[in-house]
Each structure stands twice: as C-alpha cells, then as structure tokens.
Structure 1
C-alpha cells in the first residue's frame, strides 16, 4: 500500500526538493502543490501528481484535500511547507504584510491540518510534518514578525502532537537553519522595502541585510534544501518519528547556545554580530 503525501509550497526550495525525493520512492504517491501549477510541471515528470493549492484560499485548500481523499480515502501524510519571511523592524513594518505572512505561515498551516485530520482519524493513522525554523526558538533583530510566525508554528505543533496521538496520528516539527533557497532573497527584499534609507533604524536594517547575505553565502553556516528534504522523508516514513528535527549543525549550535546561556549572553552575541547598527 502506498502512502499519499500532500506537500504545500513545492515550486522551489525545500518543498520542491522534498517532492522530488519522495517521488522517487515506490511506497509513496506525492501530491506536489503550488498556487500556480505551471511552476511545478517538472515535478510531474519526476513522478509526482500536481495540484493547484493556495494556502490563503479556503476553497483551494478544500479542493486539494478532496482530490487526494477521492483517490486514497485519506491523506497519509501532510507536509506543511509553504511559508516565507517578511522582514523589518517592529515599528516600521506594515501590518498588512505581517497579516499576509501569518495567513501563509500560520493560518494556512492550521487550516490544512484541520482539513486532513477527519480523514486521518477515520483511517486510524497519519502523519503531519510542519516545517518551522530555528527562528521558532531564537530571534534576530529586524525579523521579529517572521520569528513570531514560527514561534506560533512551534506552539501549534506541540499542542497538536498531544491532541491527535490517541488517533494514531504522528506529528513532527522540522526546524531548519539557514537553507540556500530563494528565502534569503525574499527576506532581504522585504527588509529593503520596509523603511527608507534614512529612517531611525537605517543602520540596523543595513547591518541585518549584510549579516543575512553573508550567512547564506557561508557554506559552513548554511545547507542546500536537499538536506531538509532528507529529514522530512525520515519524519514521513519512520516507524517512530521524532517530535523535532533540527537541520544544520549551525542551527543546533545557536539553539543550544541561546538555551544554555540565556537572554543576556545571546544579546551580547547579537551586539557583536550587528556592530555598527
């Protein structure tokens, strides 16, 4: 019996790498999704089924889940991957952009989860894999709203894991560090557009932009999306998946440093990283 795996946000980066990796397995039927299906036509050639799905549109989400359930009875595994970063300081970032980010990163994830759970409960099994971030446990300046969305994913995942365990449904959280995808470019673009070059936070924004660019270019600090896809595959297929998977050595080091040394020491680290801001 094959497992039907529904993945959101597969047009690029982690989602695309995950769809390609899982589509190569004989025991998995991958449903790759994106707002514009033409952007993922290549995934059909790799063996995936292609569906339109916009995680900010309820009708679109319902239609995608119905399509999988019509063929398989239930979604076997949901990978909530769709997300992006809206960067800027708390004072200067427009709340319209913040709301759009939460619609994708948090409410879309929550709604997709609500839609697949009835079928999973009836089947008595299922997997939900939420792609969070190391940014759900540590915070960098000029990224507060993005981090808040990922902190929300942490909370939702922890509650969900306990709630659905009696129904045979397993829930895992993936916490990637810096992954070399278009995410960094999107975040830098939103940071550049969040305020004028002469505003009160201009120096901080410039420092954050430099730091972000340098970190994503650094092979020791970042990793390719295939590294995350490999971990997601493990969470989807393992008999006893872990509750959390932190991806990249740098992410593990930062999370443990923040936890062990506390806020004061981490703030001191940030002051060193953002010197001149």
Structure 2
C-alpha cells in the first residue's frame, strides 16, 4: 500500500472513533470519518477529515459512502468498523426489537459494509479490515447477553473472514478494548436500569449499573485505543488481535486460565466489589455535601 492510505472509519463522531480519525489524519492519511451525528464532526472536518453521514442500519447511506470514496479516491485501503453501542439488561427483559437493533448496529451493519468494500479491495489485491470488538467478545458478565453476543459474533466472523480474503491480499484484524472513557458506559447503564425496572433481575441490575457508573473514574482514555488502531493500520504484518484499556489484559488472561465456574465466581466478586465501592462513594459525596451546607450556614 502507499504510505498515504485512504481510510474509512465508522462511529467517528465521538470517543474512540473520533480520536482515531484525528490521529490517522495527522499521520498524513486520507481519512473519511462517518457517523449518524454529522453535526458532532465539525472539528474533524476542520482538521481535514472527510466527513460522511452514515447510519450502519441504513443501506442507502452505506452504499452512498462507499460510492463517494470510490469516486473521489478510486480506492479504499483500510476499513475500520468502529460504530456500535451497548444494550444491557437481562436476556429475558430486553425486548426482541431492541435485541435485533443491537445486532443490526453491532453485527449486520459491520458485515454489510464489508460486503460493499470487498469488491474494491479485491480489485486492488490489497486492503485491511479492522473490526472493533471488545474484551466482551471473549469474556462475559450477567445482564450483557445481547451486547456480548454481538461481540462474540464479531470475533467469529472476523476469524472466518480473515481466511476467506487472505488469497486476495486483504488482511483482517480485531481490536478488543477494555474499559474506555466514552459514551458507551453511560448508555449501557441507562438502558440497563430502564429495562430492569422492577423485574426479577433488578438487584443484579443495581450492582452491574454501579460497576458501569465507575467507568469514567477508572477507565482508560480513548487515545489508548486510537494508538492501538494506528498500529493495526501501520504494522507491516498486522496481528490478528490487539487489546488495551482498563482490565483488558487481566480479564483475557483470567478467561484463558480459569474454568467457567471459576470465572463466574471471579466476575461475581468483581461486580459485588464495584457495587460496594459505588455505595461508599455515594455516602462520601452525601457527607461532603452535608458538611458544605453546615459550613455555609
């Protein structure tokens, strides 16, 4: 491939996607940043990133985005499938409509975009596809069946795809982020607490929600994954998998060595610990506010 690559990255309006688009643009690449919320990408456009409106569940916008790149550049060297979100809640509680939409965004949108770019990459006899999964594609926790089901699907699909397209000079890598400071955790927590309501799973939901609420305090910066993405783009012989971010290495190592039952216990202990920590922080905040009010009176 040329030193300056033509790159399409989805989910570029915030978090990991935005950080990655800016980093790749700064390296001299021709970057197309795509997302539904085009109004949130004015800073990308100002930096020289080509901004595209794209909804991975909308066939029209997918086709239009690929057509635009082919018309303007004549090639696509790298596709980064980054768009996605987390829908948490017990498998029983989450509606089928929400579950299907989760798979449309996190899996079928990814697969459809790959279908659309592969003819161009095959004609070039070169290309690189980078799919953003999660450590959730290798591990699990309660009340995440729908979300982690999508990420396990991305892992399996990417492995099969890597073998299918290798004869055409196309390489496939998976990015497995750990805990990252993005909008993801807040969305997941909100959906979890809403869907759980007063159901049989509400006690578990409160604990898992408490764990998600701690993300902003302990999670890694999106720049950690942006750096990893640039490695996946630039490595002469890219790895099949890259991981980084809060808890990624520890979680994947534990899953590898522990039995299913042992991992169940470890995950349960982690969730209980997070819930206790969140409760202590809440008490501390209340005590601090009470002290402030007393000193001001």
With the shorter chain as reference, the TM-score category is over 0.9
Superposed structure 1 runs of 4+ greater than 4 Å apart: none
State the SS of the aligned residue for 2:141.
Answer: coil
Query: 5+ unaligned residues in a row in structure 2: which ranges?
Result: 276-297
What residue number does 1:16 align with?
18
Equivalent residue runs for 1:251-262 within 5 Å = 251-262=248-259
Aligned residues of 1:204 and 1:274 also touching (Cα < 8 A): no
Equivalent residue runs for 1:200-215 within 5 Å = 200-214=200-214
Equivalenced residue count is 272
Moved more, 122-131 or 32-41: 32-41
What residue number does 1:104 align with?
105
What residue number does 1:229 align with?
226
Query: 5+ unaligned residues in a row in structure 1: which ranges?
Result: none
**Correspondence for 1:25 among 16, 24, 27:** 27
Moved more, 124-133 or 267-276: 267-276
Query: CA deviation digits over 1:215-258, x for unaligned, max 9?
Result: x1443xx2111100111111112111100001126211111101
What residue number does 1:156 align with?
157
Q: What is the alpha-carbon distance in structure 2 between the residues aligned to residue 244 and residue 36 of structure 1? A: 29
Q: How much does 1:195 deviate?
A: 2.3
Query: CA deviation digits over 1:184-240, x for unaligned, max 9?
Result: 0000011011122x32111000011012212x1443xx2111100111111112111
Q: How much does 1:275 deviate?
A: 3.8
State the SS of the aligned residue for 1:129.
Answer: strand
State the SS of the aligned residue for 1:193.
Answer: helix
Aligned residues of 1:126 and 1:170 also touching (Cα < 8 A): yes
CA RMSD of aligned residues (A): 1.4
When normalised by structure 1's length, the TM-score is: 0.95
Equivalent residue runs for 1:178-193 within 5 Å = 178-193=179-194
Aligned residues of 2:179 and 2:246 also touching (Cα < 8 A): no
State the SS of the aligned residue for 1:138.
Answer: coil
Q: What is the alpha-carbon distance in structure 1 between the residues aligned to residue 210 and residue 246 of structure 2? A: 22
Aligned residues of 2:53 and 2:61 also touching (Cα < 8 A): yes
What residue number does 2:242 align with?
245
When normalised by structure 2's length, the TM-score is: 0.89
Query: CA deviation digits over 1:128-147, x for unaligned, max 9?
Result: 00000000000011111100
What residue number does 2:81 align with?
80
- Tell me which protein shows more helix as a share of its residues: 2
State the SS of the aligned residue for 1:199.
Answer: coil
Aligned residues of 2:181 and 2:220 also touching (Cα < 8 A): yes
Q: What is the alpha-carbon distance in structure 1 between the residues aligned to residue 270 and residue 229 of structure 2? A: 31
